[in-house]
């Protein structure tokens, strides 16, 4: 039976997961995949048992290789003629024997042009999960730093698996390495604007103020992606708030910049909620800043502009960013004296595996929203404040402790 080198094994796992529509991480996924293999015409009705699938996806221990029938069936399901064809597509191997014995550099897997875009995104997602330390403030794994230095790793790992929950630790280190190796104007804007967030959340004023001066000096070429531009707008708003300046005078300029953006397009339904595939990314970051700084009248007006610019958001479900925008809207209504039906059920968003790393960070925004609503409805505040404070302490982000205190102080005094 052929023995798979780990990188090729990873590539085939992720190619199958891309076709399946989600990572295969639980026995129930293997049961569903077995049924999918039987009914999918692309596999010619070939059957693999759930136990075989569990071994292949590492859910149970296995020694030795895999039957060629197993590899051919999975490769065929992923869209290739057989396993030999998959090996050639991934690494340009001349024959199946080489495909099962040669070692591949993992960052080079992401660079294989013959892998579909979705497969490369999911492989980057997988690498993000396996290199992610348990502690939010732990240092980066060597492989993560290696990916930050590789062009394909930069696109499909650093710029797609944006792990803000680990910004004070591993992902912050990854961004520093990324900036050393990718000098394009858009990459520099993305990296420095995200590091501004790291320093601002840590309440390191000298660091974020120096970072903001550098961001302001960066050239912004036409066609720059909405997300790094939005992060720059977020930095300007938060800096003005910190200086106790009004934010409203900044908004006309931000509206003008938003109108000049090139649409980024919607995420295909089968792909995870990668940060840079949300169409209203720029608008999201401005709304986030207005939410965190309690500018609720301006927030309602900004969200009205967002709805006009992106009517498709009304029908977009299960997207982290869109649910956050809806949450911001509900809080702004409540804080300006308008009735609300209910907050979106953010707990339900934790079900999709591919959203979890985003929610590891953005859960604090939902906690702050719950704190706002609890206070306006006369409910106990201490449990919600404690949850926000625990998040702030565990993630090295004392800014959120400050925001929770301001919410309670403002609402108690109203």
Q: Is the pLDDT of residue 91 over 80?
A: no
Residues 175-207 have pLDDT tens digits of 999 999 999 999 999 999 999 999 999 999 999
What's the chain's average pLDDT? 85
pLDDT of residue 20: 76
Contact by Cβ (8 Å): 175, 154: no
The CB-based long-range contact list for 295-302 (8 Å cut-off, 24+ gap) reads 295/247, 295/248, 296/331, 296/332, 296/335, 296/336, 297/332, 297/336, 298/247, 298/248, 298/251, 299/328, 299/329, 299/332, 300/329, 300/332, 300/333, 300/336, 301/251, 302/251
Question: Is the pLDDT confidence value at 256 over 50?
Answer: yes
Any idea where the domains of the chain sit in the sequence? Answer: 6-104, 205-412
Q: What is the pLDDT of residue 94?
A: 40
pLDDT of residue 350: 64
**What pLDDT sits at residue 162?**
93
Highest mean pLDDT among 31-35, 214-218, 279-283, 343-347: 214-218
* Confidence label for 97 from pLDDT (cuts 50, 70 and 90): very low
Q: Is the pLDDT of residue 92 over 80?
A: no
pTM across the whole model? 0.79
Lowest-pLDDT choice from 109-118, 195-204, 266-275, 302-311? 266-275
- Report the alpha-carbon distance of residue 306 to residue 283 in Å, rounded: 6
pLDDT per residue as tens digits for the range 306-317:
999 999 899 888
Residue entry with tokens 């030999």 = 84
Q: What is the mean pLDDT of residues 102-110?
A: 66
- Tell me what the mean pLDDT of segment 133-143 comes to: 93
């Amino acid at each position: 039976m052929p023995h798979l080198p780990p990188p090729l094994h990873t590539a085939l796992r992720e190619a199958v997961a891309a076709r399946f529509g989600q990572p295969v991480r639980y026995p129930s996924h293997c049961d569903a995949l077995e049924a999918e293999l039987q009914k999918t015409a692309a596999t010619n009705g070939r059957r693999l048992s759930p136990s075989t699938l569990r071994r292949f996806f590492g859910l149970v221990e296995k020694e030795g290789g895999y039957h060629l029938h197993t590899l051919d069936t999975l490769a065929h399901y992923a869209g290739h003629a057989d396993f030999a064809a998959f090996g050639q597509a991934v690494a340009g191997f001349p024959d199946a024997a080489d495909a099962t014995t040669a070692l591949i550099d993992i960052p080079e897997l992401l660079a294989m042009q013959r892998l579909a875009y979705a497969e490369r995104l999911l492989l980057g997602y997988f690498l993000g999960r396996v290199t992610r330390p348990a502690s939010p403030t732990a240092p980066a794994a060597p492989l993560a730093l290696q990916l930050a230095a590789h062009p394909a790793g930069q696109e499909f790992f650093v710029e797609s698996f944006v792990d803000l929950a680990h910004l004070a630790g591993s992902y912050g280190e990854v961004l520093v390495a990324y900036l050393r190796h990718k000098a394009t104007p858009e990459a520099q804007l993305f990296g420095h604007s995200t590091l501004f967030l790291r320093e601002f959340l840590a309440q390191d004023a000298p660091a974020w103020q120096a970072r903001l001066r550098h961001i302001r000096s960066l050239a912004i070429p036409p066609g720059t992606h909405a997300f790094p531009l939005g992060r720059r707008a977020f930095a300007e708003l938060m800096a003005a708030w910190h200086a106790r300046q009004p934010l409203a005078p900044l908004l006309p300029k931000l509206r003008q910049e938003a109108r000049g953006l090139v649409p980024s397009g919607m995420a295909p339904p089968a792909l995870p909620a990668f940060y840079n595939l949300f169409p209203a990314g720029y608008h999201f970051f401005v709304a986030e800043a207005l939410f965190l700084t309690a500018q609720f009248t301006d927030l309602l007006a900004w969200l009205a502009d967002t709805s006009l610019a992106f009517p498709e958001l009304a029908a977009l479900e299960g997207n982290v960013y869109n649910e956050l925008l809806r949450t911001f809207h509900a809080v702004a209504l409540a804080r300006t004296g308008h009735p609300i039906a209910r907050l979106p059920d953010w707990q339900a968003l934790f079900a999709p595996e591919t959203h979890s790393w985003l929610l590891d960070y953005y859960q604090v925004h939902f906690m702050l929203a719950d704190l706002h609503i609890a206070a306006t409805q006369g409910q106990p505040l201490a449990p919600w404040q404690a949850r926000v404070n625990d998040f702030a302490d565990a993630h090295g982000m004392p800014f959120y402790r400050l925001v929770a205190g301001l919410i309670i102080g403002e609402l108690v005094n109203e």
